[in-house]
């Protein structure tokens, strides 16, 4: 059994829906992801794009908000990945 320490500072709300992520730089790349949960300062989404690694900044749009976010962590789960995003102000 894995012993993990909860590091979340903000309460999470389970959410469903799509989130559009745009990786800007050498030609914009649009990635569609599945929203998993949100918090006041960020969100978690499932996707299948390998370039969403820690430190990468993206533009995002989901049903209730849009802006810029930074990938804080990514966990690979077979053919899918989950990433945690910090919303930038």
Q: What is the pLDDT of residue 2?
A: 45
Confidence at residue 6, expressed as pLDDT on a 0 to 100 scale: 47
Asked whether 82 and 75 are in contact (CB, 8 A), the reply is yes
53 located within any domain? yes
> How many domains are there within the chain?
1
Report yes or no: 66 and 43 within 8 Å, Cβ to Cβ. Answer: no
Question: So what's the pLDDT on residue 56?
Answer: 93
Residue-wise pLDDT for 25-59, tens only, equals 767 889 999 999 999 899 999 999 877 899 999 99
User: If you ran DSSP here, which 8-state letter would residue 13 be given?
Assistant: E
Note whether residue 28 is domain-resident.
Answer: yes
Task: Encode pLDDT of 11-25 as tens digits.
Answer: 777 788 999 999 987
How many Cα neighbours within 13 Å face the side chain of 86? Answer: 13
pLDDT at 8: 54
Question: CATH code at 56?
Answer: 2.40.10.220
Collapsing DSSP states into helix, strand and coil, what is residue 52? coil
Question: Contact at 8 Å (CB) between 39 and 12?
Answer: yes
């Amino acid at each position: 059994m894995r012993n993990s320490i909860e590091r979340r500072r903000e309460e999470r709300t389970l959410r469903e829906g799509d989130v559009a992520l745009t990786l800007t730089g050498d030609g914009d790349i649009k990635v569609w992801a599945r929203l998993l949960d949100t918090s006041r300062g960020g969100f978690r989404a499932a996707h299948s794009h390998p370039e969403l690694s820690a430190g990468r900044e993206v533009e995002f749009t989901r049903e209730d908000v849009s802006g810029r976010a930074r990938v804080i962590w990514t966990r690979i789960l077979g053919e899918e990945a989950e990433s945690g995003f910090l919303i930038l102000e």
